[in-house]
């Protein structure tokens, strides 16, 4: 087990040691996109060119044989977690999963006819909600349906992952998940402090999680990820350090640390949280610094956007080799250009098109019952979108942008086209967050927590939105 500093030591020395980083964090704290896509989801419209998308899919070409990534959204949860901002349905009504599976399997058949069944599925991710809301028979059935319509692989290099709420899984289910083809697991930990867990209605004792981790390791899954959240009620520097001590003791391969955004007018479950119990802004910034410094002191690499991995993890290697990507599931290996989303609210990135399925469950199921494609919003990227997407995603994934490569790929003069954006970055350069020379923008180690801020100058949509639409609401960058 890797040792970390004690809670007492943390309380006395962290504020002094991290003061400079906290001052920078306070300076650059603002609201901004998470850049799981570009353009981001607020730019999707109901009047997107669906007919152009379908015409493109009907044409033969490399896209009919190229590798494919699948995302399957399973929206149900048995209990509400007050902080949650996901598209989920909290219910224990018997038969609800069966009704949804029937529609989902029909969508799978329709989408396979459109996308094609010859494309090797190199990546797959089941998210929610709680995918393990399904019982063992339903999990097996869904995987069989996918295998019947798409070319699933049994190769060792595939990435087939599933999100798990530790409260919903018995140890035998871990064996089932490995048996049906998953080789990566993500556990929603959030926090190990009992008072924090109680305040957000998600009680999962450390011994139970530890036993689950042991089972995952025993079945030799390729990687184990933890999700953490900072900014929850009753969190402070003491509770966070103890949570991190337990996290590091379990030594997951990957850790994602998310900033809690308190938006009770938008997410009604958050009204159950007493805002007076939330950390003050200064304390919340300190929590972010504690997470970053403690995990790195314990040997984790900060690859960016609040994601940390062990040095020998495939994501670390992929970043060094330029094979890392970011999409709607966070960071992953770049193994497929196209992502097909299946299920209510799922988002697809296919060629030059983004498509999002209907977000309301009843409406989604009604569309499926009518035999229609459930994608109700989307957009087609422009040539300018492709250029800016390349810059933003390369910064996020590779922590640098080769300006000469951009000039060659897109036929531009970077310095001229992005003169204003480069001027905006000069202030970040003076603060040591990045460097700019004639050939490259490079993010410094100190700049990794500020990747969203570094990308935002290249986002053409931040300063403009349609007059008939309210401005998008984004989470805090830090």
The band of 130, judged by pLDDT with boundaries at 50, 70 and 90, is very high
Check residue 15 and give its pLDDT.
53
Q: Is 261 helix (H, G, I), strand (E, B) or coil?
A: coil
Is 80 exceeded by the pLDDT of residue 405? Answer: yes
The band of 92, judged by pLDDT with boundaries at 50, 70 and 90, is confident
Is 60 exceeded by the pLDDT of residue 7? Answer: no
pLDDT one-digit tens code per residue, 137-190: 999 999 999 999 999 999 888 999 999 999 989 999 999 999 999 999 999 999
What's the length of the chain?
Answer: 478
Q: Percent of the chain, pLDDT > 90?
A: 75
Residues 447 and 304: their CA atoms lie apart, in Å, by 9
Name the residue ranges covered by the structural domains of the chain: 13-340, 383-458
The band of 473, judged by pLDDT with boundaries at 50, 70 and 90, is confident
Which H helix or E strand runs over 210?
helix 206-218
Is 60 exceeded by the pLDDT of residue 12? Answer: no
Is 70 exceeded by the pLDDT of residue 13? Answer: no
Specify the higher pLDDT residue, 15 or 232.
Answer: 232
- pTM over the 0.75 mark: yes
CATH number of the structural domain 383-458 = 1.10.10.920
Residues 331 and 49: their CA atoms lie apart, in Å, by 28
Number of H helices, E strands in the chain: 17, 20
Check residue 51 and give its pLDDT.
96
Please answer whether residues 164 and 201 qualify as being in contact, where contact means their C-beta atoms are separated by less than 8 angstroms: no
Residues 316 and 327: their CA atoms lie apart, in Å, by 17
What's the whole-number average pLDDT of the chain?
91
In a 10 Å sphere around its CB, with 0-12 CB exposed, 13-18 middle and 19+ buried, how is residue 222 labelled?
A: middle
User: What letter would DSSP give residue 109?
Assistant: H
Check residue 8 and give its pLDDT.
40
Check residue 260 and give its pLDDT.
92
Check residue 369 and give its pLDDT.
96
Cα Rg for the chain, rounded, in angstroms?
22
pLDDT one-digit tens code per residue, 303-322: 988 899 999 999 999 998 98
Most confident of 27-36, 263-272, 427-436, 466-475: 427-436
The band of 4, judged by pLDDT with boundaries at 50, 70 and 90, is very low
Residues 46 and 358: their CA atoms lie apart, in Å, by 10
The span from the first CA to the last CA of the chain, in angstroms, equals: 30
CA angle 434/436/439 to nearest 5° reads: 135
Check residue 5 and give its pLDDT.
37
Q: What's the helix, strand, coil split of the chain in %, to 5? A: 45, 20, 35
> Which residues pair with residue 186 across a beta bridge?
163, 225
pLDDT one-digit tens code per residue, 337-363: 999 999 999 999 999 999 999 999 999
Check residue 22 and give its pLDDT.
80
pLDDT one-digit tens code per residue, 232-278: 999 999 999 999 999 999 999 999 999 998 889 888 999 999 999 99
Residues 397 and 451: their CA atoms lie apart, in Å, by 10
CATH topology of domain 13-340: pyruvate-formate lyase- activating enzyme (3.80.30)
Is 80 exceeded by the pLDDT of residue 468? Answer: no
Q: Is 152 helix (H, G, I), strand (E, B) or coil?
A: strand
Is 90 exceeded by the pLDDT of residue 408? Answer: yes
Check residue 466 and give its pLDDT.
47
């Amino acid at each position: 087990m890797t040792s970390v500093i004690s809670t007492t030591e943390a309380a006395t020395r962290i504020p002094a040691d991290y003061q400079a980083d906290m001052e920078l964090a306070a300076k650059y704290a603002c609201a901004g996109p998470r850049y799981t896509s570009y353009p981001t989801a607020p730019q999707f419209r109901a009047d997107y060119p669906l007919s152009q998308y379908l015409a493109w899919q009907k044409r033969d070409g490399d896209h009919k044989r190229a590798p494919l990534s699948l995302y399957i959204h399973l929206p149900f949860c048995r209990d509400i977690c007050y902080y949650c901002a996901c598209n989920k349905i909290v219910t224990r009504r018997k038969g609800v999963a069966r009704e949804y599976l029937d529609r989902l399997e029909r969508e799978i058949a329709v989408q396979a006819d459109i996308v094609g069944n010859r494309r090797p599925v190199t990546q797959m991710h089941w998210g929610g909600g709680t995918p393990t809301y399904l019982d063992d028979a339903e999990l097996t059935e869904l995987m069989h349906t996918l295998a019947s319509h798409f070319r699933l692989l049994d190769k060792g290099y595939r990435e087939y992952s599933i999100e798990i709420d530790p409260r919903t899984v018995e140890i035998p289910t871990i064996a089932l998940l490995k048996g049906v083809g998953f080789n990566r697991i993500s556990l929603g930990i959030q926090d190990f402090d009992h008072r924090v867990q109680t305040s957000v209605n998600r009680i999962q004792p450390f011994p139970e999680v530890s036993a689950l981790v042991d089972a995952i390791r025993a079945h030799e899954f390729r990687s184990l990820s933890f999700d953490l959240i900072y900014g929850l009620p009753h969190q402070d520097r003491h509770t966070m350090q103890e949570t991190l001590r337990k996290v590091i003791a379990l030594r997951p391969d990957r850790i994602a640390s998310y900033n809690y955004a308190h938006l009770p007018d938008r997410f009604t479950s958050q009204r159950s949280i007493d805002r007076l119990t939330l950390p003050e802004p200064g304390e919340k910034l300190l929590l972010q610094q504690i997470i970053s410094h403690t995990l790195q002191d314990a040997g984790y690499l900060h690859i960016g956007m609040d994601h940390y991995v062990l040095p020998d993890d495939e994501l670390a290697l992929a970043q060094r080799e330029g094979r890392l990507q970011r999409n709607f599931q966070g960071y992953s290996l770049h193994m497929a250009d196209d992502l097909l989303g299946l299920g209510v609210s799922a988002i697809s990135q296919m060629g030059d098109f983004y498509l999002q399925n209907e977000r309301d469950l009843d409406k989604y199921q009604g569309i499926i019952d009518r035999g229609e494609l459930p994608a109700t919003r989307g957009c087609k990227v422009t040539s300018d979108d492709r250029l800016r997407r390349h810059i933003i995603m390369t910064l996020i994934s590779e922590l640098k942008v080769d300006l000469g490569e951009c000039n060659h790929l897109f036929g531009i003069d970077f310095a001229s086209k992005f003169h204003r954006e480069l001027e905006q970055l000069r202030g970040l350069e003076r603060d040591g967050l990045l460097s700019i020379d004639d050939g490259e923008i490079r993010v410094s180690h100190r700049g990794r927590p500020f990747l969203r801020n570094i990308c935002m100058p290249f986002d053409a949509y931040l300063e403009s939105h349609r007059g008939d639409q309210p401005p998008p609401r984004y989470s805090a960058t830090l």
